[in-house]
Amino acid sequence: VTAKPSQPVWDPAQYTRFEREREQPFLDLVARVPDGVVRSAADLGCGTGAGARRLAVRWPDAVVWGVDSSADMLRKARAHSAPANLRLVEADLAAWQPDAPLDRIVSNAALHWLPDHARLLAALAGRLAPGGTLAVQMPSNDGAPSHRALAELASEATWRDKLRGAVRQPLEAPAWYAERLAELGLDADVWETTYHHRLARPSDVVEWTKGTTLRPALSQLEPRDAEAFLAAYAARVERAYPAGPLGVLFPFKRLFFVATRSE
């Protein structure tokens, strides 16, 4: 992941349409994060704050930071009642510095939006306290029709200039993350899981990507262009995910790692 994507404009209502499906990877990630003495933790790219609130409940003696660069997502996070040990901060997670090293850093479905993962991993590892754990989940679904359709359309003559920078670079392979984390002195478990989400109808795949993958493209286009682009995208994607007896099965691959610094 090297190129800097344009900053997406997040839409909390669209993002939370598939809340249950989006929450499962977070739960699977944090199930493998150890407890122990946790005095400080951060959820980087915390979005509407559901995960950060769970962490604050799980570690009541810790200060838990929820960091996000989107004022809209944080507004929704602040509208919830939250444990007193949760602190929400509007900041770029790559630049944000805690006042003391962190015992746990969690980041769910956020780091794939940032460029230069070699540098980013080094920066995050540098914010861990001795014995601290970095736990990350990122979508690794770049080869799926839902994601390929965006890349293919954005490279066509009609859209190429208008969508420059709107398609993020694919993630590196799991082995790449395993090697970088080992070089940083972290002991890491790395794995991938493909979730087979059951959606009601083919257009729900488009509703899903409208909340995430399509955000940079849609926020970069004039409204009329956005409408035309979405229609072209929907025509491709809905063909690729036909309805069957279970509705539409939407396979979605995600990359995880849980990496711990030695004491």
Contact residues: ligand SAM, CB under 6 A: 10, 22, 26, 45-47, 51, 67-70, 73, 92-94, 108-110, 113-114, 212
CB of 216 to ligand SAM, least distance (A): 10
Which of these, 45, 40, 169, 37, lies nearest to 116 by C-alpha position?
169
Token pair 């409408």 is at which residue?
Answer: 227
Select 32 or 160, whichever has its Cβ closest to ligand SAM: 32
Least CB distance to ligand SAM at residue 46 (A): 5
Closer to ligand SAM by Cβ: residue 140 or 212: 212
Nearest-approach distance from CB 47 to ligand SAM, in angstroms: 3
Strands (DSSP E) contained in 100-153 are 102-108, 128-139
Comparing CB distances to ligand SAM, the nearer of 98 and 247 is: 98
Cβ-based nearer residue to ligand SAM, 16 or 203: 16
Q: Which is nearer to ligand SAM, 136 or 248 (CB)?
A: 136
Quote the CA–CA distance of 19 and 217 in Å, as a whole number.
22
Q: Which is nearer to ligand SAM, 135 or 184 (CB)?
A: 135
Contact 49, 77 (CB under 8 A): yes
| Shortest CB 211 distance to ligand SAM, Å | 8
For residue 10, report the phi and psi dihedrals to the nearest 5 degrees.
-80, 145
**Encoding tokens for residue 49?**
């704050």
Chain position carrying tokens 């660069």: 69
Question: How near is the Cβ of 81 to ligand SAM at its closest, in Å?
Answer: 18
Helices first, then strands: H and E counts in the chain = 11, 7
We find the least distance from the C-beta atom of residue 65 to ligand SAM, in angstroms, to be: 12
Q: Tokens standing for 263?
A: 């004491």
Gap between the terminal Cα atoms of the chain: 30
Nearer to ligand SAM, 28 or 179 (CB): 28
Please report how close the Cβ of residue 149 comes to ligand SAM at its closest, in angstroms: 19
Report the C-alpha gap between 160 and 166 in whole angstroms.
Answer: 10
**Which class for 108: exposed (0-12), middle (13-18), buried (19 or more C-beta within 10 A)?**
buried
Total residues found in the chain within this entry: 263
